[in-house]
A and B are shown apart, each in its own frame.
Chain A
Amino acid sequence: MIKISARRVDKATIFDVSGDIDMSNSPELRKALLHEIRDARASRVIVNLSGVKYMDSSGVASLVEALKASRDVGSSLVLFGLSASTREVLQLSRLLKVFEVRDNEEQALTS
C-alpha cells in the first residue's frame, strides 16, 4: 500500500510518499514522477520519503528512471527524509551519491 500526493512550493513539485514501495506499487510512483518531469516540465521535483519505511529494488529502479528523465530535460530531482532502510538500498545500489539527497524539505528546496 502506497500513498502519493503532490504539492507545489515555489517552483518545485514535492511528492509526499508514504507506505512500503515494492513491485506492486512502484509503477505508480514511476508514472507520477515521469509525468511531472516529462509532461508538466517541473524544473525541480522533490521526493519526500520520510513516510517510506521499506523500498525494494523496483522502487530504486523507479527513482533511477526519474533521475535519468530529469537529466534528459535539464531539471533536478531531489530526495529527502530517507529512513535507515531506504538509505541502505541506495547504498547497496551505489546510488546514494548519484542522487541529490538532503536531510529535510528546507534543504531540498534551497540546495
Chain B
Amino acid sequence: MGVLGFSEEECRAIIRAVDEAVSNIMRHSYSGRLDRPIEVSCRSLRRRSNGKGGQGVEFLLFDRGPAVDPTRLSGRPLDEVRCGGLGLHFIRDSMDRVEYKRTGNMNRLRLIKYARSSKQRPNP
C-alpha cells in the first residue's frame, strides 16, 4: 500500500482495521466458528473528488452470518476502563469511511481510507 502513497502509520491503521473487521466477523457473525466463509476484496481508488489527499484503498468484506443491527456498530464510549468493544472503535478510528449493508443473505462491510497528501503529512 506504500505505492499508493500511504505512510507507515496509515498502513498500520489499514491492517488494524481489516484485522479487527475479520476478527469481529469470526467472533460475532459466526459465533467463533472458524470454518465459515469470509470474502475479502481490495481495490485502489482515485483521489477524492475535492482533489484533497492522495489515492485511496477500498476493502469489501462479505460474510454469511445473520444480519447485524446497525445501531450496534457505533462502538462503545472510551471513558470507562473495561475489556471488550474496542474492535469497532479501532476500525472507525483507522478508516475514513465505514459502511455496513445487508445484501441478500450476506453482510457487507465497506472500509475506505485515503492517503494524506505529502503536504498534509506531518514531518517525521
The answer for the CA separation of A97 and B78 in the assembled complex, in Å, is 13
The answer for the CA separation of A70 and B40 in the assembled complex, in Å, is 40
Q: Please judge, given known A-B contacts A84-B12, A92-B93, A93-B89, whether A65 and B83 are in contact too, CB under 8 Å.
A: yes
- B12 and A92 contact, CB distance less than 8 A: no
Does B42 sit at the interface, judged by CB under 8 A? no
- B83 and A89 contact, CB distance less than 8 A: no
- A22 and B81 contact, CB distance less than 8 A: no
Residues on A with beta carbons closer than 8 Å to the beta carbon of B39? none
Stretch from A11-19, A37-45, A55-63 contacting the other chain? A55-63
For this complex, into which size category does the number of interface residues on chain A fall?
20 to 34
The answer for the CA separation of A58 and B27 in the assembled complex, in Å, is 11
- A56 and B89 contact, CB distance less than 8 A: no
A57 partner, pick from B8, B13, B79, B87, beta carbons under 8 A: B87
B15, B27, B82, B83 — most chain A CB neighbours (10 Å): B83
- B86 and A93 contact, CB distance less than 8 A: yes
Residues on A with beta carbons closer than 8 Å to the beta carbon of B12? 84-85, 88
The answer for the CA separation of A28 and B81 in the assembled complex, in Å, is 21
- A56 and B19 contact, CB distance less than 8 A: yes
Residues on B with beta carbons closer than 8 Å to the beta carbon of A92? 86, 89-90, 93-94
- A89 and B16 contact, CB distance less than 8 A: yes
Residues on B with beta carbons closer than 8 Å to the beta carbon of A68? 81
- Chain B residues close to A by CB (< 8 Å): 8-9, 12-13, 15-16, 19-20, 23, 26-27, 78-79, 81-84, 86-87, 89-90, 93-94
Q: What are 23 A-B interface contacts by the 8 Å CB criterion?
A: A23-B27, A54-B15, A56-B20, A56-B87, A56-B90, A57-B87, A57-B90, A60-B86, A61-B83, A61-B86, A62-B83, A64-B83, A65-B83, A67-B81, A68-B81, A84-B8, A85-B16, A88-B16, A89-B90, A92-B93, A93-B78, A94-B78, A98-B81
A57-B20, A62-B83, A85-B16 provided; 16 other pairs, C-beta below 8 A?
Answer: A22-B23, A56-B19, A56-B87, A58-B23, A60-B86, A61-B83, A61-B84, A61-B86, A68-B81, A88-B12, A88-B13, A89-B16, A92-B86, A93-B78, A94-B78, A98-B81
